[in-house]
Every structure is written in structure tokens, then in C-alpha cells.
């Protein structure tokens, strides 16, 4: 059964949305247990500052370092993503925040810049990427013109912009799928928060836990918000989402090596007929998660951030009310009327943690009701992408798009930003609905294609598509691989080249009777691809250098001997008696005696 309040947008955010929109700063942590012993942790931080204060360089909650960059470049709206891992939609369900705070693997950036011409926008984009590269310790300065696109249908402004400003705003998008997200990116992220990771829920953010997650994403969104009858504010929203493996996170830091659990600690399903003292069938983790907040994150929340809005509870967890949760002293529990979540007000001067105990499935207090498990939401669309073909000359891309809804079609925009050395053949673009013998071209409603120019720009492909209910569509096309110069290969050329993830923007439904999740825009990304190109033998330059140096040494040595050595005739050379070593010694003695006699005569 599809629940009305899904974890795509947590209920706590919806319940306190009016308060959060008007508050200067608030933060909230939402926890969602997932199947297979996983836990989704969503950290959300939001700060507001009036546009008049921002233009007057009065920074209170808005970070000054980032605000000065935006003012210098003329950025009206900015979105930055750091992502790592793969979201398992089949097991974990729909993405958090409808996928709007998710980016492709690596680093993704898109922004609306105020510029009159494309050349001016390119200059401001270059300044923005270089400034953000230094601020977040990332390689954003490598987003050059070959990795920059100008989307037409995929992205729309999220903020409120006047019509006079929209006319001069230009959207630019860049992605670095090869970028490795690490602790160096987390530290600047925390420094932008008002409490700097010293208090509040940000004290749980630790690089050892965050980057040990199965999937993690860091997002920064900056946009202007204008409410009716109120002054416009500039809002910065920072979010961190991670999927933690509970069993792996519970390992102590001083002994992180996994070891088999003792026999008495194994969780076995005793209902199996073959269950015995030496035979164990593991129980399903979905029905039996037991963990503590300080056990999963390695520490408890120190105290509430003093700058946050006290009306918004900082910690929420989505578990049924039938499950017991034990908290530390001083915390106040607020239960959601839907019966599927609860929130906690934590003390301002003391730590906070809670324990989610194990569900007993056996004995007198056994729990068998299926309502004790919050089932994950079904995504609106499943997407898979992979390479086809073989060899180093040509290849293909196949994308599998599945609409799981039995009665509602889904409309979306599919966008790919391909490197210039992938020369696609647009005439080979085909769509095929699974179960039909012929290709179906009615799925694609609109195409925007911008071909690549060698070493100047990449390929941009945007498709507006519509998939019928309960259908699977195969999208395929062919491409040709280019040969690069040997200086254009990375140090690990044999690994391959990363191709950015495809961006899918699911458009809201126009039907008034559509469910809540279909009345808003949602996003999802496919996984990145690894492209193998013809790779030269990089040992050949060294072989050529060695061979050439040897040839030059031989030629130069012979020529040097000819020019320097003196050649004389045999009759002109001094006579030397041939007597072996004895003759040479006697000859030397005779010459020495003659020299001594000559010197004695001169003295007399």
C-alpha cells in the first residue's frame, strides 16, 4: 500500500514547512530504516537572509565566503552536488527528496548566471568554477567548455525570479564524473553551517561514517524565495543523504576488520524445518533491525544548535508507532498522526541518543503484524543504462526505462552529456517497447540535439518521452570512438574514460486527480559508464628515446674521434725498439740519463 506521507519528502518537513520558510535557520535529521539492514539518514540545513541584507554585505546565517563569490560572478541561482555510490531503487524504493537533491556520480554543477551574451556567460562560468574549486577543495576548475552544456528542457529555476531578470539569465551545466568525493569536500561543507559542526545534528557528520556508506550525496542549493506580501529572501539549503549498512557501521573504529559472529550471536530463523544447533538460516533484516544512534554514527548528538528554530524538532525517525524507542533523558517525543513517524525535541545543553530495539518474532511478546514494517515507496520510473557492442572502433548505448505504474503513464525529459570523443549517430536512435515486435517512435515527443565539435564541446542530447503504464522501453543508439592524442590520455589510460550519468526529469502530471508524488517535479540519475578507447602503447616513446640516444651517441663518438685525434705516417712516428717490457724500461733509463747529462752541462 502506498502511504500518503512517503520518505521522499519527510512528513516532518511538510508539517513544519510554513515555520521553516519564515525562520532564518533550521536543521533536521530524518532517519528511515531500509530493507537488508540499511538505514537512510537525511541531514537538512536551511538558512534565509533578506536580499537587502545580502546586497548590503550583511551576512548572518548565510556564509560570507560563498556569498561574495555569488555577488562577484552575478549568480542568481546555484546548485552543487557531490555524489558517490549507486542508489538501489529495486531494494530501497524511491529516492529521498524526489531525487531533487541528488547528482550524478562525482561532482555536478548547474547555475543561472546574469549575462547579456554567451561570451560573458562563459567568462562568468569560468570564474565561478575556479572560485568554487578553491572553496570546496574539488577539481571544479576542470569543467571547461568541453564539459559544459546549456540544457534546454531538463532544468528549470526553482527560485522566484522577476521577468526582467529571467530575460538575462543563462543556464550552464557541468559535470565531472571522474571526481572522487572525500573528506576534503566535507570539511568546507561543514564550515558553511552556522554551528560549524560543533553543535546540533551536524556533530554526527564524520568522514569515516559518511564515506563508508553504500551511497551518499551532498547538495547545496541557493535560490531566491519571494512570499506574497513579504520581502524576498535568499535561501541556502544544504543536504547530506547517506545509506548506511547497519551491521558495518556498528563495528568499533578500533577494530573495523569484519570477523564471523560467534554461534550464539547468530540470528536464525527457527521456523525452518532444518533448524538445529549446527544449522542456521539467517533471519530477514527488514523485520529485525536493532541499533542505537550513537552506535551507528559513532557518537551521540552533543546538544541542540542554539541558532536553530526551536519550533522545529531536529531529529525524526520513520518507524511505526507500535515499535518502542528508548531515548536519553530530557528529550520530548512528538508522534505523527499518520502513525508512521515521530520526532524528538532534544535538550539544548545535553547530549541526545536513542535505541531502536529488536522486534521479537518469537515467544509470548511476538509481533507478527505487517504494519510494523514501513515498506519503501515504489519509484515512478526505473532506469538502467549500459554499453553494447565490442571493439575499439564503434559501440552503442542501451537505456532500459520501466514504468511500474499499472494505470498511469509517465512523462519525462531524458538528457545525456557525452564527451566529444563519443560521436553518436543520431539516425540510429530507436525506441522499442518490450513485448512489441516493431520499434515505437511515438514514445519520443521532442528531440534537442547539439552535435559535438572535436576538442571544443561535447554532445548534448535531450529527449522528451512518454511511457505507457506498465511498460518497459528500450532506448538505443550507436556511436563511434575517436582516437585521442597521446597527451590527452589520463595517467591510468587503460582504466577507461568516465561518461557522465544521464539526467531524467520526471514532469508533473496535469491531471487534478493525480497522486501527490506525481504533482511535482522529480529527478533521477543513471549510473556512470566506463568507456574504453583505443589506447596506444605508452612504452614506445621511451623505446624511441633510448634507440635515438644510442644512435646519436655512436655517431657523435665516431665523429668526435675523427675531429680530435691526430693521424701521422708510420715513417714520421718516433722509433721504438721492440723488446717488450725490458726494452721499454731500458729505453726510458737511457732517456733519463741523457736528460741528466744535459742538465749537468748547463749547470757547469
Q: Is the pLDDT of residue 438 over 70?
A: no
Identify the pLDDT of residue 600: 59
Q: Which of 298, 282, 319, 281 is nearest to 244 (CA)?
A: 298
| Rg from Cα positions in the chain | 35
Q: Is the pLDDT of residue 299 over 50?
A: yes
Residues in the chain: 604
Identify the pLDDT of residue 3: 38
Q: Is the pLDDT of residue 21 over 50?
A: no
User: How far apart are alpha carbons 207 and 198 in whole angstroms?
Assistant: 15
Q: Out of 263-277, 393-407, 411-425, pick the least confident.
A: 263-277
Contact 458, 452 (CB under 8 A): yes
Residue 236, classed as helix, strand or coil, is strand
Identify the pLDDT of residue 287: 52
The mean per-residue pLDDT over the stretch 302-321 comes to 90
State CA 565 to chain mean position distance: 69
Angle 224-225-229 from CA coordinates, rounded to 5°: 135
* Cβ-based burial of 3 (10 A; exposed 0-12, middle 13-18, buried ≥19): middle
Cell numbers at 206, concatenated: 564524520
Q: DSSP label at 502?
A: P
User: How far apart are alpha carbons 55 and 40 in whole angstroms?
Assistant: 38
Top-ranked range on mean pLDDT: pick from 348-362, 382-396, 552-566:
382-396
Q: Assign 3-class secondary structure to 31-55.
A: EEEECCCEEEEEEEEEEEEEHHHHH
Q: Is the pLDDT of residue 437 over 90?
A: no
Identify the pLDDT of residue 14: 42
Identify the pLDDT of residue 454: 93
What residues contact 23, with CB distance under 8 A and at least 6 apart? 48, 309, 311, 312
More confident: 2 or 365: 365
The mean per-residue pLDDT over the stretch 556-561 comes to 85
Contact 502, 525 (CB under 8 A): yes
Sign of CA dihedral 556, 562, 566, 567: positive
Question: Percentage of residues in the chain with pLDDT exceeding 90?
Answer: 54
Q: Is the pLDDT of residue 574 over 70?
A: no
Helices (H), 284-440: 293-297
Identify the pLDDT of residue 599: 64
Residue 255, classed as helix, strand or coil, is coil
Q: Is the pLDDT of residue 215 over 50?
A: yes
What residues contact 138, with CB distance under 8 A and at least 6 apart? 82, 107, 132, 176, 179, 184, 185
Q: Could you identify the residue written with the cell 542530447? A: 461
Strands in 146-263 per DSSP E: 148-149, 169-176, 215-225, 233-245
Sheet with 332-335, strands from edge to edge, namely 148-149, 169-176, 106-114, 75-85, 215-225, 233-245, 38-50, 25-34, 315-317, 342-345, 332-335
More confident: 182 or 439: 182
Q: What is the dihedral of CA 154, 160, 165, 167, to 10 degrees?
A: 40
Tens digits of per-residue pLDDT, 325-347? Answer: 999 988 999 998 888 889 999 98
Element (H, E) at 29: strand 25-34
Contact 186, 496 (CB under 8 A): no
> Bridge-partner residues for 464, per DSSP?
413, 446
Q: Is the pLDDT of residue 405 over 50?
A: yes
Q: Out of 35-39, 284-288, 289-293, 504-508, pick the least confident.
A: 284-288
Identify the pLDDT of residue 560: 84
Q: DSSP label at 279?
A: B
Q: Out of 7-11, 177-181, 439-443, 592-596, pick the least confident.
A: 7-11
Sheet with 459-467, strands from edge to edge, namely 444-450, 459-467, 410-418, 503-506, 522-525
pLDDT band at 7 (very low <50, low <70, confident <90, very high): very low
Tens digits of per-residue pLDDT, 50-61? Answer: 988 998 888 888
> Bridge-partner residues for 333, per DSSP?
344
The mean per-residue pLDDT over the stretch 435-441 comes to 67
The mean per-residue pLDDT over the stretch 12-31 comes to 65
The mean per-residue pLDDT over the stretch 280-293 comes to 71
pLDDT band at 4 (very low <50, low <70, confident <90, very high): very low
Q: DSSP label at 553?
A: H
Contact 400, 459 (CB under 8 A): no
Q: Which of 504, 506, 499 is nearest to 520 (CA)?
A: 506
pLDDT band at 11 (very low <50, low <70, confident <90, very high): very low
User: How far apart are alpha carbons 292 and 299 in whole angstroms?
Assistant: 10
Question: Percentage of residues in the chain with pLDDT exceeding 70?
Answer: 88
Q: Is the pLDDT of residue 18 over 50?
A: no
Tens digits of per-residue pLDDT, 112-162? Answer: 999 999 999 999 999 999 999 999 999 999 999 999 999 999 999 999 988
Tens digits of per-residue pLDDT, 57-103? Answer: 888 889 999 999 999 999 999 999 999 999 999 999 999 999 999 99
pTM exceeds 0.75 for this model: yes
Q: Is the pLDDT of residue 46 over 50?
A: yes
Q: Could you identify the residue written with the cell 511538510? A: 14
Q: DSSP label at 86?
A: -
The values of phi and psi at residue 132, to 5°, are -70, -30
Identify the pLDDT of residue 29: 96
Angle 470-472-473 from CA coordinates, rounded to 5°: 135
Identify the pLDDT of residue 429: 94
Identify the pLDDT of residue 579: 56
pLDDT band at 586 (very low <50, low <70, confident <90, very high): confident
User: How far apart are alpha carbons 395 and 293 in whole angstroms?
Assistant: 48
pLDDT band at 601 (very low <50, low <70, confident <90, very high): low
* H and E: helices and strands count for the chain: 13, 25
Identify the pLDDT of residue 367: 53
Identify the pLDDT of residue 228: 80
Mean pLDDT, the chain, whole residue set: 86
More confident: 13 or 492: 492
Identify the pLDDT of residue 285: 53
Q: Is the pLDDT of residue 229 over 80?
A: no
Top-ranked range on mean pLDDT: pick from 114-123, 533-542, 571-580:
114-123
Pairing label, strands 25-34, 315-317: parallel
Identify the pLDDT of residue 17: 44
Top-ranked range on mean pLDDT: pick from 306-310, 518-522, 529-533:
529-533
pLDDT band at 558 (very low <50, low <70, confident <90, very high): confident
Neighbouring C-alpha atoms within 13 Å toward the C-beta of 11: 19
Cell numbers at 369, concatenated: 503484524
Q: Could you identify the residue written with the cell 565561478? A: 128
Q: Out of 39-43, 222-226, 354-358, pick the least confident.
A: 354-358
The mean per-residue pLDDT over the stretch 534-544 comes to 83
Q: What is the dihedral of CA 35, 502, 157, 119, to 10 degrees?
A: 150
Cell numbers at 175, concatenated: 559535470
Q: DSSP label at 379?
A: P
Amino acid at each position: 500500500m502506498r502511504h500518503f506521507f512517503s520518505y521522499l519528502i519527510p512528513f516532518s518537513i511538510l508539517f513544519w514547512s510554513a515555520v521553516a520558510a519564515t525562520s532564518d535557520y533550521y536543521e533536521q535529521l530524518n532517519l528511515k530504516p531500509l530493507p537488508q539492514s540499511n538505514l537512510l539518514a537525511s541531514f537538512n540545513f536551511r538558512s534565509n537572509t533578506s536580499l537587502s541584507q545580502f546586497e548590503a554585505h550583511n551576512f548572518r546565517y548565510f556564509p560570507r565566503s560563498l556569498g561574495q563569490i555569488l555577488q562577484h560572478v552575478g549568480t542568481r541561482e546555484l546548485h552543487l552536488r557531490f555524489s558517490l555510490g549507486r542508489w538501489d531503487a529495486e531494494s530501497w524504493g524511491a529516492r529521498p527528496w524526489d531525487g531533487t537533491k541528488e547528482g550524478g556520480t562525482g561532482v555536478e554543477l548547474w547555475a543561472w548566471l546574469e549575462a547579456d551574451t554567451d561570451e560573458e556567460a562563459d567568462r562568468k562560468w569560468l570564474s565561478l568554477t575556479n572560485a568554487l574549486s578553491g572553496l570546496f577543495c574539488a577539481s571544479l576548475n576542470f569543467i571547461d567548455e568541453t564539459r559544459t552544456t546549456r540544457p534546454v528542457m531538463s532544468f528549470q529555476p526553482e527560485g522566484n525570479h522577476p521577468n526582467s531578470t529571467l530575460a538575462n539569465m543563462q543556464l550552464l551545466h557541468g559535470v565531472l564524473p571522474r571526481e572522487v568525493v572525500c573528506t576534503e569536500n566535507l570539511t568546507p561543507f561543514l564550515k558553511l553551517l552556522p554551528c560549524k559542526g560543533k553543535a546540533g545534528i551536524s556533530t554526527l557528520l564524520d568522514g569515516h561514517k559518511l564515506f563508508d556508506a553504500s551511497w551518499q550525496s551532498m547538495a547545496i542549493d541557493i535560490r531566491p524565495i519571494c512570499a506574497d506580501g513579504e520581502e524576498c529572501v535568499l535561501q541556502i539549503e544544504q543536504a547530506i543523504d547517506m545509506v548506511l549498512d547497519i551491521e558495518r557501521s556498528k563495528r568499533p573504529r578500533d577494530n573495523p576488520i569484519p570477523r564471523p559472529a560467534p554461534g550464539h550471536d547468530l540470528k536464525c530463523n527457527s521456523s525452518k524445518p532444518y533448524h538445529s544447533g549446527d544449522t542456521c538460516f539467517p533471519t530477514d533484516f527488514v523485520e529485525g533491525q536493532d541499533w542505537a544512534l550513537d552506535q551507528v554514527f559513532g557518537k551521540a548528538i552533543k546538544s541542540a544548535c542554539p541558532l536553530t528554530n526551536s519550533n522545529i524538532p531536529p531529529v525524526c525517525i520513520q518507524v511505526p508507532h507500535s515499535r518502542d524507542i528508548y531515548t536519553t533523558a530530557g528529550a520530548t517525543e512528538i508522534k505523527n498522526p499518520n502513525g508512521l513517524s515521530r520526532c524528538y525535541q532534544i535538550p539544548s545543553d545535553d547530549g541526545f541518543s536513542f535505541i531502536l530495539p529488536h522486534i521479537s518474532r518469537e515467544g509470548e511478546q511476538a509481533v507478527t503484524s505487517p504494519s510494523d514494517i514501513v515498506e519503501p515507496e515504489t519509484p515512478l520510473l526505473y532506469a538502467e543504462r549500459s554499453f553494447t557492442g565490442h571493439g575499439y572502433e564503434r559501440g552503442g548505448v542501451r537505456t532500459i526505462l520501466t514504468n511500474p505504474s499499472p494505470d498511469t503513464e509517465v512523462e519525462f525529459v531524458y538528457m545525456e552529456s557525452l564527451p566529444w570523443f563519443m560521436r553518436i549517430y543520431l539516425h540510429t536512435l530507436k525506441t522499442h517497447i518490450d513485448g512489441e515486435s516493431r520499434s515505437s517512435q511515438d514514445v519520443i515527443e521532442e528531440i534537442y540535439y547539439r552535435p559535438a565539435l572535436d576538442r571544443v564541446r561535447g554532445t548534448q542530447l535531450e529527449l522528451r518521452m512518454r511511457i505507457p503504464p506498465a511498460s518497459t522501453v528500450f532506448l538505443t543508439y550507436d556511436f563511434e570512438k575517436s582516437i585521442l592524442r597521446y597527451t590527452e590520455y589520463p595517467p591510468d589510460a587503460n582504466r577507461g574514460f568516465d561518461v557522465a550519468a544521464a539526467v531524467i526529469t520526471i514532469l508533473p502530471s496535469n491531471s487534478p486527480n493525480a497522486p501527490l508524488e506525481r504533482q511535482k517535479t522529480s529527478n533521477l540519475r543513471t549510473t556512470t559508464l566506463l568507456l574504453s578507447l583505443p589506447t596506444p602503447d605508452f612504452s614506445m616513446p621511451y623505446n624511441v628515446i633510448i634507440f635515438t640516444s644510442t644512435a646519436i651517441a655512436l655517431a657523435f663518438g665516431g665523429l668526435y674521434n675523427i675531429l680530435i685525434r691526430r693521424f701521422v705516417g708510420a715513417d714520421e712516428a718516433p722509433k721504438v725498439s721492440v723488446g717488450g717490457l725490458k726494452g721499454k724500461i731500458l729505453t726510458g733509463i737511457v732517456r733519463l740519463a741523457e736528460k741528466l747529462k744535459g742538465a749537468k752541462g748547463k749547470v757547469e
